[in-house]
Every structure is written in C-alpha cells, then in structure tokens.
Amino acid sequence: MNMRALYRLTTFLLLYWTSHAQSAERRIGNACNSPSVSCNEPLQLPDSFADSNLARQTRQKPAEEACAEIFGIDATKTCADSRKRLQLALQQAKKTVDSTFNLTQNNENSYNNLWATYFSSDKTAKDTSYFALILLETTKLLRKFGMTLTQIKEVYNPQVLEEVSKKGLCQREPIEECAAGGFRTFSGYCNNVVHPMWGAVFQAFSRLVAPSYQDGISAPREAADGLELPTSSLVSQTIFTDSTGTKHSTASLLLAQWAQFVYDDLVKIGTSTGERQQANQATSFLDASMIYGNNGKTAALLRSYKDASPGELNVFNSLYDRLLLPQNKNRRECALTAREPCFLSGTNSVNLTPTQAALHTVWVLQHNRIAKRLKVTEKLFMLQQLTILMPYVGNK
C-alpha cells in the first residue's frame, strides 16, 4: 500500500469513527440487551435522555395538560390519573405499532425488486421486536406528557410491566433449558450452554459506546448546525474517488463480492423494525449460515433428503446440464425480466449479483462433493470392519 492509499484509508477511518462512533457495535448477542424483553425487565432508557432538547421542552407543561391536548379529552377525568395516562399511552402505542406492521406487510407484498427483498426483516425478527416497539412508542408518548427520565424509570416502570403483562405483550425468552446434543444448532442457541443466548440469531448487539439519538430515544443524530449527517456510503464515495481509472495491483471485483459474502454470515439488520436497540438477524460467528441458513426451517428447505444423496444440499439441474442452486418459487423478483425464478440459499443476497450466486453455487457444490466422498469412505470403512470381523465370526 503506497502513502497516498494509506492517507486515504486513515482519513476515511477518522471521518467514519467521528460520525458513527455512537452507533459502532460489537456482535456478541448479549441477552441482557435483547429485544426479547421478558416481563421482569425494566424499561431501558439512555442516561443522556434527560438532557435532550425534547426533555427540556416537555418538562415545562404538566402531564395531565399535555395528555389532554394529545387525546382531546377532559384532563380532570382521565389524564389526571397517572395510571390511566399510562393505559392511554400503551393503547395508542399498540395501535401505532399494529398500523405500522400492517402497512409494512402490505408494502412488502407489493415489492418487486431484489434490494427491497434483501433489506426486508425476517418474520421472527418482527415478532420479537413487537414488544420492544410498543415500549418505544409508549416512551415517546410519556415524554410528550411531560414525564422526566426519573419519573419514567422510577414511577412508570412497575406500572408499565404490570400493564403489558395483563395484555399479554411480553416477549418470553425462547430458551428455557438446553437439550443434550452433540452438534451445534443452526440458530446458535445453546452453543454456549451456560449462556444459551450468546451469539445466537435475533439477539441484540452489544455496543462499544452508548447510542446518541437526537431525541434521546430513536431519531438519527444531526450535525451541530441541525442538518443531517452524511451517510457512510457518501463519505466512502467522496474519499475513495479515483478519477484516473487505474486498476488495483492485486484486488479485483471478487474482493468486494467475497466481503459481501462473509458479511451476510455475520450481520443482517432489517430496515422495517426501527427499534432503538438493534438486533442481529444472523448468527454472530463465521459458521456459513449464509449457505446453510440460520434456523432449522431454512436448513430443512436447503437439504436433500433423497436416499441416493444423503447429507447433500439441494441443487437444480438446468437446461444446460449444469448444477445450480435450488429454485425459490416463492420469490417473483427475478422473473420480472428474465422470466426465471430466484435462487434459494441461506440469505437473500444470493440473487443480488451474478457473482454472489456464483460464490454460493461453488460452496454448495463443494459441500456435495465432500458429502459424496464421505459416503464412499463410510462404505469402505464398513467393508473393512466386516473383513476384520469375519474371521472371528467364523471361529464362533
């Protein structure tokens, strides 16, 4: 790497960490920060929330007055009671979240492009984040009521947990006891029997630093002048601009495609949930989940259960007598122009570019090659065992 390239890389890293340090995250899947909040978990709010602009603005108005203005009801009847204010906030929050989920689902059903499919959230992730989103919307309403951070954490936490428990909105922990087994799970659950949620799919990120939201809850942070911060892609494109068009001495397009291939094994964040604490829809370890899937259902779809090919992955024999990835007939995006079905793999990115599809195909064929070799080796091993045992059996 020459000095010019080193300077560009250093400048990029400085700008990146300056603008994104508040959202830098370490994937460990700490269950304590999981969006799968149980009924005995407190309402988590950042300490910086008390000093936000929204907090300073809303403290000036009494809670019952703010409540009456929002809901248009008599403050002396309903909004004057703190528990009834909480019930109103929870009811309104649930309506908002339900409406958002319904709208998102309708939009997803009308998506006809691969980018929308790639960035869509898994159904399990949406179900898991449901309770977290209701708490988030409830928090926003309580802030509009003029509640301070201390009031929310000390006064409303017990009431919130009691109310959501009555309504059956609590997300239960999916693991009660790890079953005995000699193999790791696809989802990552129970790979650590002491901490079964660590590194598993659908678990929250552990942050290197605390989040910094503009409103203290969920709004993206703004620049000092109030304008939006530049996106990471814009920063990257601005710094890494090569007008000469010279080729790299060692790297090729495959480097970027391989990086995307590995990325899909470690990180997947959907865009439709929008919760304050982001969760990972992929396992936290490099375990080839983009090939085999990160849950048992996907893994079962990818497996071949034919007697002639035990242990192999499904493949599709094309018209050109080439073995390709299995077809995903549930997705219609690929058929819009080419009139061909999409490929089925452990991640939706397999259909984004031809190179991604090629990489997935290479690894699936390599898996099947090894499976065939193991099958032959097993037969040879059994024959050797019989050859060794035959003299002893004959003597008896």
Residue 23 lies in a domain: no
Confirm whether 223 is domain-assigned.
no
Whether residue 29 contacts residue 284, with contact meaning beta carbons closer than 8 Å, is answered with yes
Whether 158 maps to a domain, the answer reads yes
**190 in a domain, yes or no?**
yes
Total number of domains in the chain: 2
Phi and psi angles of residue 74, each rounded to the nearest 5 degrees, phi first: -70, 120
Helix (H) or strand (E) holding 270: none
Structure tokens belonging to residue 1: 């790497």
**In the numeric block, which tokens belong to residue 338?**
């080419």
Q: Are residues 388 and 263 in the same domain?
A: no
> Do 182 and 329 fall into the same domain?
no
Q: What DSSP string describes 126-139?
A: HHHHHHHHHHHHHH
- The verdict on 98 and 186 lying in the same domain is yes
In a domain, 27, yes or no: no
Q: Please check whether residues 110 and 182 belong to one and the same domain.
A: yes
| Nearest-angstrom CA–CA distance, 41 and 30 | 14
The answer to whether residue 389 is domain-embedded is yes
State which amino acid sits at residue 218.
S
342 is in which domain, residue-wise? Answer: 303-395
Verify that 38 and 181 share a domain, yes or no. yes
105's enclosing H/E stretch is helix 82-109
Please check whether residues 68 and 121 belong to one and the same domain.
Answer: yes
From first to last of its 396 residues, what are the pLDDT tens digits of the chain? 444 544 444 444 433 333 333 333 333 333 333 333 333 343 444 444 344 444 444 444 677 777 777 777 665 567 777 677 777 788 888 888 888 777 766 555 555 556 555 556 666 666 767 777 777 788 788 777 777 656 666 655 666 656 555 555 555 555 556 777 777 777 777 777 787 777 777 776 677 777 777 777 777 788 888 888 888 888 888 887 766 667 777 888 888 888 877 777 665 554 333 335 555 555 666 778 888 887 778 888 888 877 767 788 888 887 777 888 888 877 666 766 666 778 888 887 888 888 888 888 998 999 999 888 888 887 776 666 665 555 544 444
Whether residue 213 sits in one domain with residue 175: yes
Residues 91, 58: one domain? Answer: yes
Residue 122 lies in a domain: yes
The residue out of 245, 280, 315 marking a domain boundary is 280
Query: What whole-number distance in Å separates Cα of residue 215 and Cα of residue 49?
Result: 7
Q: Are residues 167 and 311 in the same domain?
A: no
Q: Where are the beta strands (DSSP E) in the chain?
A: 25-26, 203-204, 206-207, 279-280, 316-317, 323-324, 327-328, 342-343
Tokens of 110: 């009308």
Q: With respect to residue 293, please indicate whether it lies within any of the assigned structural domains.
A: no
With residues binned 3-state (H G I as helix, E B as strand, rest as coil), the percentages for the chain, rounded to 5, are 50, 5, 45
Query: Does 276 share its domain with 386?
Result: no
Residue 310 and residue 269 in one domain = no
Considering the domain architecture, whether residues 178 and 317 belong to the same structural domain is answered as no
